[in-house]
Each structure stands twice: as C-alpha cells, then as structure tokens.
Amino acid sequence: MPPPISQLDSLTMLHVMRSTHVVVPHALLGSALLAALEWGRTPWLPSLLWLVAFWLLLLALWGTTWRASRCPDHDDWQIAALHRRFAAQITCVGVGWGLAAWVLMPSGDLTYSLIVVLWGIAVSAVQGAMLSARRELFFGFVLPIWGLILLRLFLSPEAVFRWVGVSGAIYLLVLVQFTARLHRFAHESMSQRAQNTGLLRELMLEQRQLESYNAMLEQKNVELDQAVERISELASRDPLTGALNMRALMREMERLLARSETQGAPFAIAIIDLDHFKRINDSHGHARGDDVLQQLCVLVQEELADGELFGRYGGEEFLLLAPACNGAELSRRMEALRGKISGWDWRRWSGDLPVTLSCGVAAWRPGAGPQALLQQADKALYQAKEMGRDRVCLAREGEA
C-alpha cells in the first residue's frame, strides 16, 4: 500500500511540528504575561476564561508536537495523522491569539492596546516563520490572528486605532511576502534532503540485499564445498566396502614413497587375498560374498595404526600401506591379522566354508617405485598361496 504522503511532505510536516514544540512553553508563559499586563484594565472574568481556555489549547498542541518529536522519520502514516491534528490545533491557537484583541485590549487606552498589537506582531513573526515550510499552516495561523486584531482596530471609534490597523495590515503584507521567500528556501532545502533521504534508503535497501546475497552465497559455497568433499570422498572409495579404491591407493602410495625417498623413512605394503572366495559366492550367492568382504574390511580397519591406509585392490584382493613400518614388523602384524580372520565366526555368511586369507608383504628400498614394490608383494602373495594358503609371506630383499 503506497504511503499517504510524499517524502517531501513528511519532512516539512515533521519540521513545523518539531519547531513548534520548542516554542509552546514560551507561548504558555507569554499568554500568562500578557494577561497579567492587562489585568485590571479589562473585565477579569473574560480574561481568566480566555487564559484557561488558551492554556488548555496550548497544552493539547504541545502534546501533539511532543509525539511528533518522537515519531520515526519513516512512519508516514503516523506523521500524516499527527499533521491533521496539528493543523486544526494551530488554527485554533491563531484564533486564540486573535481573540486576545477582543478580550484583553482595553477601550480608550492606546498604550495597553498597542501592547496587545505588539504581542500579535511578535507571535505571528516567530510562529509564522516556523510554519513557513507549510504555507497552508502559515495562513491558517496568521490570518485568524490578524483578521481578529484588524477587525477590532477598524471597528474602534477612535481614529488612532484605525491608523494602527492600517499599519498592522501593511505589516501583514510584508510578513506574507517575507515568509514566501522562507517557504521557497525551506522547500528547496527539504527537497534536497528528501532526495538524499530517498537515496540513503535505496542504498540501505541495496546494502541489505547485498548482505542477504552474500549470506546466500556463503551458504551455497559451504554446501558446494561439502558436495565437492563428498564427491571427492565417493570418488576415492570403493562403493561396496567403503575402503579406498585402487586410484586413491595408487595416489597415496606415490605420496608415501616420495616421502620415504626424501626422508629415508621405512615403508611397507601388504597385499591381502581371501582364500577360495569363489566358493562362498558359488555356494551362498554374491550377496553373502559381499557381506564377507564388508566384514573383512571392518576387521582390518580395527587393526590399522595411525597413518596407515587400506583399500580394495581388486576383486577379493586388498592393499595395506604402512608408512613408518618395515617389512618384518608388518609381516608380524599381518600374521596376527591372519589369525584374527581365521578365528572369526563367519558361519552367518559362509556356512561351513572357512574364511582365511593369504598375504604378501614387501618392504621399500631406495629407488624402488610403486610397480616394483607391488610386484614384490604380489610375488610374496603367490608364494603364500603355493605354500597352501592361510599364511603370510615376506618378500626377500632385492627380489623383484
């Protein structure tokens, strides 16, 4: 729903209301002082009633301007509502000041009559200047004051009062002309401020949108990083067992061999093969065979030391990479693993068929590449199978 007023109207309305809020206490004091100066020269009851009624009106006006002073600059609906109330009240205040010429101006006493006129001049000049940004409010305040004052002066039987009325009319014309210039200046200033405020609002809106887009982008980047990490993880894992796949194993093996070449650190590998695995597939189905492979990976993972890597080498063959471990040590550990596998209760998946493994272990020597090391481990595995399976063999030094 569009706002009820423009940005320029909002600024000028707040300006006149907030400016008036500052002078209302002075108007309360000034009206009381005027009534005190004229006390005893006019009937006391009308003077008292005028003062009480006028104070109530000024207090109501002060309440409206107080709310305007605390109203948010962007709350156009509240500003419009406060302005409607303010416009009615400021007109009534103008009428109240004009009525002072009828209630407080003594007949036949030029001096004290001029005090009332001078009071009207001062009030219309000060408040009229503050209302100049809203021309309709200016006229709504000044015309009742001077309409009633001039009417009182021109209806006086004494000629001097009529001449004072002529001077007052001339002053009114000068005031109208002077405040017209103030009105143009105020509108130009407020118009520039409204444009700046509008640009600032647009800038803040764009900034909030940019912050929102940045937050969305950061979230998307996090999600993208997670997706890339997940894809990388999936690309390096065997989909059946969850162990590293052949590509990841070769990449890690090259990295570890390069470290051993640089640092001279020991490095050993083991190729593990399930004995007679085809019998399980043939007798119990491939699903049971897959279960055996998965459980084997779980058991091997439990025995891995920090930094060691394990993955599927192909079919029922697996490869274990053991940095900081020599051949003899890895051979002993593989022997313990062989005993663990052969002693495990596999009947749930393999029935009466035993599940055992054969293992070939090879240790790195300076200058040996991945293929040479794999060939050594594979030859040791072949030797274990030739010797009846369910055993671990360590490749001999220099064997290729």
**Is 374 inside any structural domain?**
yes
Place of tokens 């405040």: 179
Clarify whether residues 255 and 356 are in a common domain.
yes
Query: Per-residue pLDDT tens for 249-292?
Result: 999 999 999 999 889 889 999 999 999 999 999 898 999 999 99
Strand order in the sheet with 392-394: 309-314, 317-323, 267-274, 357-363, 392-394
Query: Are 312 and 241 contacting, i.e. CB atoms less than 8 angstroms apart?
Result: yes
Of 20-29, 52-61, 70-79, 341-350, which range is least confident? 70-79
Question: What does the alpha-carbon distance between residue 310 and residue 323 come to, in Å, rounded to a whole number?
Answer: 12
Clarify whether residues 183 and 290 are in a common domain.
no
Ranges assigned E (strand) in 203-298: 267-274
The mean pLDDT value for 87-109 works out to 89
Query: Per-residue pLDDT tens for 348-394?
Result: 988 889 999 999 999 999 888 899 999 999 999 999 999 999 999 99
Residue 336: pLDDT above 90? yes
Question: What does the alpha-carbon distance between residue 165 and residue 51 come to, in Å, rounded to a whole number?
Answer: 24
**Is 213 inside any structural domain?**
no
Average pLDDT, the chain: 88
Q: Which of 162, 171, 106 is nearest to 142 (CA)?
A: 171
Orientation angle between helical segments 76-103 and 135-154, nearest 10 degrees? 10
Residue 349 burial by Cβ neighbours in a 10 Å radius (0-12, 13-18, 19+) = buried
Residue 198: per-residue pLDDT: 67
3-class DSSP string for 169-188 = HHHHHHHHHHHHHHHHHHHH
Last residue of a domain, one of 153, 188, 205: 205
* Residue 154: domain span: 7-205
Residue 377 burial by Cβ neighbours in a 10 Å radius (0-12, 13-18, 19+) = buried
| Measured torsion, CA atoms of residues 327, 331, 333, 339, in degrees rounded to the nearest 10 | 170
Clarify whether residues 251 and 198 are in a common domain.
no
**Is 358 inside any structural domain?**
yes
Cα 251 from chain centroid (whole Å): 44
For the domain that residue 267 is a member of, what is the CATH number? Answer: 3.30.70.270
**Is 235 inside any structural domain?**
no
Last residue of a domain, one of 205, 236, 258: 205
Residue 398: per-residue pLDDT: 52
Residue 399: per-residue pLDDT: 52
Q: Is the pTM of this model over 0.75?
A: no
Clarify whether residues 260 and 120 are in a common domain.
no
Of 57-66, 130-139, 193-202, 350-359, which range is least confident? 193-202
Residue 308: per-residue pLDDT: 92
The mean pLDDT value for 31-58 works out to 90
**Is 216 inside any structural domain?**
no
Query: Per-residue pLDDT tens for 181-208?
Result: 877 777 777 677 666 676 777 788 888 8
Determine the length of the chain: 400
**Is 231 inside any structural domain?**
no
Query: Per-residue pLDDT tens for 148-157?
Result: 999 998 888 8
Percent of the chain residues topping a pLDDT of 90: 48
Residue 7: per-residue pLDDT: 75
Query: Are 128 and 175 contacting, i.e. CB atoms less than 8 angstroms apart?
Result: yes
**Is 344 inside any structural domain?**
yes
Clarify whether residues 13 and 78 are in a common domain.
yes
Clarify whether residues 266 and 164 are in a common domain.
no
Last residue of a domain, one of 205, 237, 272: 205
Clarify whether residues 57 and 194 are in a common domain.
yes
Whole-angstrom Cα Rg for the chain? 50
Clarify whether residues 113 and 176 are in a common domain.
yes
Query: Per-residue pLDDT tens for 209-262?
Result: 888 888 888 888 888 888 777 777 777 888 889 899 999 999 999 999 999 988
Domain tally, the chain: 2
Place of tokens 């079919």: 315
Query: Are 86 and 68 contacting, i.e. CB atoms less than 8 angstroms apart?
Result: yes
**Is 234 inside any structural domain?**
no
Clarify whether residues 324 and 381 are in a common domain.
yes
Q: 192 versus 138: which is more confidently predicted?
A: 138
Q: Residue 400: pLDDT band by 50, 70, 90 thresholds?
A: very low
